[in-house]
Amino acid sequence: MNIVSIGFKVQIVFIFFLYCPILYAEDLIFNIDHNVVNRAKFDTENQRDIIELYQNNKLITKIPSFDEDGGNRVKNILTRYDENNILRVITRFPDRGHFKIYYDIGFNKNRNLFMLNKVSFEIQEWSSQTDVSTIYCYHQINQEVNELMNSDDWFYKIRPFADGWEDGTVKGNCIVSNKVVDYENSYNIIMKSHLFDKPDKNNMTNMYLIKGDIVDLVRSQNNFYEIEYTTKKNKIIKKWLHCSAIDACISY
């Protein structure tokens, strides 16, 4: 009799939690190593449409989260490297193939405005268990964040799909690689560009990268980026690259 009673109580408790979920929201906190923004907060339940940006615990602005029900959801926020490129919001569609979108947010000091500078996306296409193509496409936006927050149809104009943007075409440039490539913290070279020993045009080397090469950014200085490039023989080269090589010299 006691055993039956205990089992009955357990079932009641289980039913209570099954139909009465805990009502609380989880805040995802991302630390941003930057002098303009040092923290980003995303409410995973109540305010999925915005990301709050803070500096020294003071809310300085809100930006779109680019999170969508039934589609790409916020996966991560990465630190970027200068005022023109403060952070990258990453969304991912985990249930139906590999499709990630990157939204690069910068700050225009002259106009005191946050900007959406670039939108890019990455997909993987598998023709067999061993044959894969990674496609990365990017498109310069240069759109004020405030305008995006106040417009109802902005998202459909800037959000890419697997086959391109709003009209089904790619408005930027695409790179195709016959291997698995993770572009979360990488940039593609858009034109043949020499490498430099120091962040100065007088220190150019004979080494260069070509369009389509992928580099990881380490830090920025004087319109140059310190980069790491992995060769086909898995050798890592660490040099400096001018911002024009990765289309990061943004002017307003």
Strands 113-126 and 132-144: antiparallel
HSE value, Cβ hemisphere, 13 Å, CA-based, for 172: 24
Q: Please tell me whether residue 157 adopts helix, strand or coil conformation.
A: helix
Closest C-alpha among 86, 91, 76 to residue 55: 86
- Identity at 192, one-letter amino acid code: K
Q: Using the Cα atoms of residue 29, residue 30, residue 32 and residue 37 in order, give the sign of their dihedral.
A: negative
Q: So what's the architecture of 188-246 in CATH?
A: Roll (2.30)
Closest C-alpha among 71, 74, 72, 69 to residue 40: 74
- Residue 72 is given by DSSP the state -
Distance CA 231, CA 218 (A): 17
Distance CA 112, CA 133 (A): 41
**Whole-model pTM over 0.75:** yes
Q: Print pLDDT tens along the chain (252 aa).
A: 433 343 434 444 434 334 444 334 578 999 988 889 999 999 988 888 999 999 999 999 999 999 988 888 999 999 877 777 889 999 998 666 688 999 999 998 888 899 998 898 988 888 888 888 888 888 888 899 999 988 878 888 888 877 777 665 666 677 777 877 788 877 778 889 999 999 999 999 999 999 878 888 888 888 899 999 988 787 889 999 998 888 777 554
> Could you tell me where in the chain the CATH 2.30.30.40 domains are found?
188-246
